[in-house]
Structure 1
Amino acid sequence: MSTIDYSVKIPNNVDLSGDRTLQRALESWQPNFIKWWDDVGPEGSTHYDVYLRTAVSVDPQGWAQFGYVKMRDYRWGIFLNPAEQDRTIHFGDHKGEKAWQEVPGEHRANLRRIIVTQGDTEPASVEQQRHLGLTAPSLYDLRNLFQVNVEEGRHLWAMVYLLHKYFGRDGREEAEALLERQSGDENNPRILGAFNEKTPDWLSFFMFTYFTDRDGKFQLAALAESAFDPLARTTRFMLTEEAHHMFVGESGVSRVLQRTCQVMNELGTDDVNKLRAAGVIDLPTMQRYLNFHYSVTIDLFGADQSSNAATFYSSGLKGRYEEGKRADDHALHDQSYKVLEVVDGKLQEKDVPMLNALNEVLRDDYIKDSNAGVARWNKVMEKAGIDFRLSVPHKAFNRQIGALAGVRMSPDGRPVTEQEWESRKNEWLPTDGDRSFVASLMKQCLAPGKFAGWIAPPVMGINRQPVDFDYVKFQ
């Protein structure tokens, strides 16, 4: 790994100056990236000085530094984790062979597809969150939003580096297309459905960063196992930053719950209308938002049976979450896995070859991880003495992809008729009225140490700074 020179146009730790063709290609892409950021990045934030962390090292003990930065000038230098000497492939049909340093011709199309799909999610979330700064509930939260935004931008750069470095003209064209698609655009949308949904308010943002960024954790962890070593090294470092994004979501929802429970106890009521009149988000609305974001996110794992997933695994392109900790042969040819199907209006399990069910394996790992965080949210209500618990809906609820797509299912996993679905979906998913109410609470609160009335302050600030620290300076 080279050291990082922050005086160059594109700081990097991959000796970019030693590959002039690649350096020129990335320098020609950079103005398009800046234009994209100016056009659809965080609105009105160009001249803000933001207290951000910047990745400056691959040392786990000290990989970031904090300081005021204008987001448009945000600089980073990490493209790859250090190489692991004599790394071998540890799953699939190439198990035991040396990891690839170049793209094998027979896997070129699939690897490009994987990198493009991952890369497409990074700018998409920035676009989805473009307007949130205008309604930030505090300087602390505004700073966290901006931290997520710049790191998604860095993750985009990491994927673009791989495309330019290893995929020639095709890679350059795909890198351009990453800036041409736009979240929610009718004619040229983002590749994955969840990244075309709107993120219109901060409750949606917190749910998105908890649930959808958690999908990112599992997808990146699976790619970090890849036989294509540069992809594995890139995604391993991305995981380091992804943890903060999930923290923003989990702690954000916890603080909303804390404030709602406080007002419930002060007023001695769980009446939705009284709580809304008091300016907090009622718990049933929180559950409906959770149901929506969770169900949209688990669709991101793809169909429960997938020949592509089998090919990616057998070829060594994409492993399982924590592949090395699994006690099996890491080839899976003779193993099976249970998936759900609907027969005669009832859910039932069936065994399918595990290689074809790897999307479902990853989805189930994700579900287990998601439930752990929801249990922590429930401790907020328990501690406040409130008799209400959040829960994730059944994984067949509100699905749009795979064998369960369009199946009408209640959140507790009970098949329902189309008539019952239509009559009760407003109990289970956010209504226009819910979204309008939440939107009505979204007012900027940017005095240091002050917070909007619908959310509690955090327990501690960022990087050991006080909660009332001047996290964003306006000019």
Structure 2
Amino acid sequence: MSGINYTDKIPNNVNLAGDRTLQRALEHWQPNYLQWWQDMGPDGSHGFDVYLRTAVSVQPDGWAHFDHVKMPDYRWGIFLAPQDGQRKIHFGENMGRDAWQDVPGEHRANLRRIIVTQGDTEPASIEQQRHLGLTAPSQYDLRNLFQINVEEGRHLWAMVYLLHRYFGRDGREEADALLQRSSGDADNPRILGAFNEKTPDWLAFYMFTYFTDRDGKFQLCALAESGFDPLARTTKFMLTEEAHHMFVGESG
């Protein structure tokens, strides 16, 4: 459960190979994601080796493995925190019942909207920050920027996995749309207004990582309590990466 096999086309700890339909769907989505990264990812960065952190397992001692990698070759993957078979719902009218392993029909639309909105912020912030690497104050700042960018990309993968795995055709269409919207686009903007603003300079970036990522952390903490267990486990692992984003804002 804890180890992640990096020879897989899509590194994961969710036994993707055991679900061929899901695996094919995500492998179909992957080239579109890589094309989006080429078009909208960090400007002028694609040819350089960058010293980046990658998860090799979801255990506390395994999620931070450092190596040099060209960013388009970064191994984005699908990582969920380990399942707790005893987990209960802690609030609301279902309090005390077992956490849901599948989407309850009456909450399907709301859960999909939450996951899509969360997923939409991830590529949006990369689009907002794509020109910052050209004016980095130092190599240290540049590496922090690129680390945040690849992790926001992985957070997009996290939400896309949930959409594909649990929401059928609707989920696949929503996952495609996550790559079709664009930050600040007049015709097809990102869902939340804050993610359509420009991030023109490094002061704006530090404010973003201090305030907006702090808001993101509280949102992820809330989702980590979700009665829908796969969403809770997904966001729980995302929080380990989000801590670094806020550190950049605090220390910038």
Equivalent in the alignment of 1:199: 199
Equivalent in the alignment of 1:186: 186
Equivalent in the alignment of 1:98: 98
For the pair 1:14 / 2:14, whether they are aligned, the reply is yes
CA distance in 1, matches of 2:31, 2:117: 22
Give the superposition deviation at 1:60. 1.4
The one-character-per-residue Cα deviations of 1:207-266 (angstroms, maximum 9, x if unpaired) are: 0011001111000000000000000000000010000000111101xxxxxxxxxxxxxx
Is the partner of 1:155 in helix, strand or coil?
helix
Contact 2:88 2:95 (C-alpha < 8 Å) held by counterparts: yes
TM-score normalised by structure 2 residue count: 0.98
Equivalent in the alignment of 2:54: 54
The one-character-per-residue Cα deviations of 1:396-453 (angstroms, maximum 9, x if unpaired) are: xxxxxxxxxxxxxxxxxxxxxxxxxxxxxxxxxxxxxxxxxxxxxxxxxxxxxxxxxx
Equivalent in the alignment of 2:89: 89
Equivalent in the alignment of 2:26: 26
Pairing of 1:128-139 with structure 2 (within 5 A): 128-139=128-139
Equivalent in the alignment of 2:127: 127
The one-character-per-residue Cα deviations of 1:319-347 (angstroms, maximum 9, x if unpaired) are: xxxxxxxxxxxxxxxxxxxxxxxxxxxxx
Equivalent in the alignment of 1:229: 229
Contact 1:55 1:76 (C-alpha < 8 Å) held by counterparts: no
Pairing of 1:272-351 with structure 2 (within 5 A): none
Is the partner of 1:180 in helix, strand or coil?
coil
CA distance in 2, matches of 1:2, 1:19: 18
Write the letter of the residue equivalent to 2:24.
R
Equivalent in the alignment of 1:144: 144
The one-character-per-residue Cα deviations of 1:84-104 (angstroms, maximum 9, x if unpaired) are: 121111111100000000001
Give the superposition deviation at 1:5. 1.6
Give the superposition deviation at 1:62. 3.4
CA distance in 1, matches of 2:204, 2:87: 41
Write the letter of the residue equivalent to 1:46.
H
CA distance in 1, matches of 2:3, 2:204: 39
For the pair 1:40 / 2:40, whether they are aligned, the reply is yes
CA distance in 2, matches of 1:71, 1:65: 15
Superposed structure 1 runs of 4+ greater than 6 Å apart: none
For the pair 1:155 / 2:155, whether they are aligned, the reply is yes
Write the letter of the residue equivalent to 2:38.
D
Contact 2:77 2:157 (C-alpha < 8 Å) held by counterparts: no
CA distance in 2, matches of 1:8, 1:94: 38
Contact 2:3 2:56 (C-alpha < 8 Å) held by counterparts: no
TM-align CA RMSD: 0.9
Find the structure with the greater CA-based Rg.
1
CA distance in 2, matches of 1:82, 1:117: 24
Equivalent in the alignment of 1:114: 114
Give the superposition deviation at 1:2. 6.1
Equivalent in the alignment of 1:66: 66
The one-character-per-residue Cα deviations of 1:16-41 (angstroms, maximum 9, x if unpaired) are: 00000000000000000001000010
Give the superposition deviation at 1:8. 1.5
CA distance in 1, matches of 2:79, 2:63: 13
Give the superposition deviation at 1:175. 0.2
Relative to structure 1, is the Cα distance of residues 173 and 77 closer, same or farther in structure 2, using a 3 angstrom cutoff? closer
CA distance in 2, matches of 1:152, 1:54: 13
CA distance in 2, matches of 1:127, 1:197: 10
Pairing of 1:295-444 with structure 2 (within 5 A): none
Quote the sequence identity (%): 81
CA distance in 2, matches of 1:63, 1:190: 30
Give the unaligned 5+ runs of structure 2. Answer: none
Contact 2:55 2:62 (C-alpha < 8 Å) held by counterparts: no
Equivalent in the alignment of 2:242: 242
Aligned length: 252
Write the letter of the residue equivalent to 2:92.
G
Equivalent in the alignment of 1:212: 212
Is the partner of 2:179 in helix, strand or coil?
helix
CA distance in 2, matches of 1:105, 1:7: 36
Write the letter of the residue equivalent to 1:97.
R
Higher relative contact order (CA 8 A, sep 6+): 2
Equivalent in the alignment of 1:392: none
